[in-house]
Amino acid sequence: MSDDDNDRRLAKLDELLAIEEIKNLRLAYSAYFDSQDLDGLASIFAEDAVCEFSQEYGGDWVGRETIRANYAAVAEQVGAPYSAIHAVTNPWIELIGENTAKGRWYLIEYLTRQGAMTSGGGHANPLFYLGIYQDEYKKVDGSWLISRVKLEFLWPERTLPG
């Protein structure tokens, strides 16, 4: 095997490891949000991160501390930990540069108890939301973090254009 072949294999391995680390961010997001571990949730966002939400959800949340505070308010509405659970699927991660990446995930959110949020879900209809996360990531001090999240809904109301 030539040095060039070995270099290409090592580069591909580095790319795959970065993609797996990025996937773990989105999975951690779901676990932290659902368990209401707000410090853990905030820790996976860059200091200058942005969560892009519709005005119904407060518009853009800018900065780690604002993101944490706003998720704390959402957790209060949800109720007890695991009253809602996020299932994220179909990850599509693309490395843009050495320290930047973007990703797309499908969201299926379920309610696990009667009366959580404003839905009667949890029994007759546990499905709460269907949506698509469009994320941006950046590497900071050797670790990948979420730098931007945009969530567009497909159901029950469609906010995704097209």
- State pLDDT tens for residues 85-117: 999 999 999 999 999 999 999 999 998 876 656
Domain-located, residue 160: no
Q: What is the mean pLDDT of the segment spanning 3-11?
A: 86
Q: Is residue 131 part of a domain?
A: yes
Nearest to 19 by CA among 103, 126, 81, 122: 103
Full-prediction pTM beyond 0.75?
A: yes
Specify if 137 maps to a domain. yes
Query: CB-based contacts of 29: which residues, under 8 Å, 6+ apart?
Result: 41, 44, 86, 88, 146
Residue 64 inside a domain? The answer is yes
pLDDT digits 0-9 by tens, 152-162: 999 988 877 76
The CATH number given to whatever domain includes residue 130 is 3.10.450.50
Q: Is residue 45 part of a domain?
A: yes
The answer as to whether 162 is a domain residue is no
User: DSSP string covering 22-66, please?
Assistant: HHHHHHHHHHHHHHT-HHHHHHTEEEEEEEE--GGGTS-EESHHH
Residue 102 counted as domain residue:
yes
Question: How many domains does the structure of the chain reveal?
Answer: 1
Separation CA 88–CA 148 (nearest Å): 17
Domain that holds residue 84: 3-155
Q: Provide the pairing of β-strand 143-155 with 45-52.
A: parallel
Strand partners, 62: 50
Is 51 within the bounds of a domain? yes
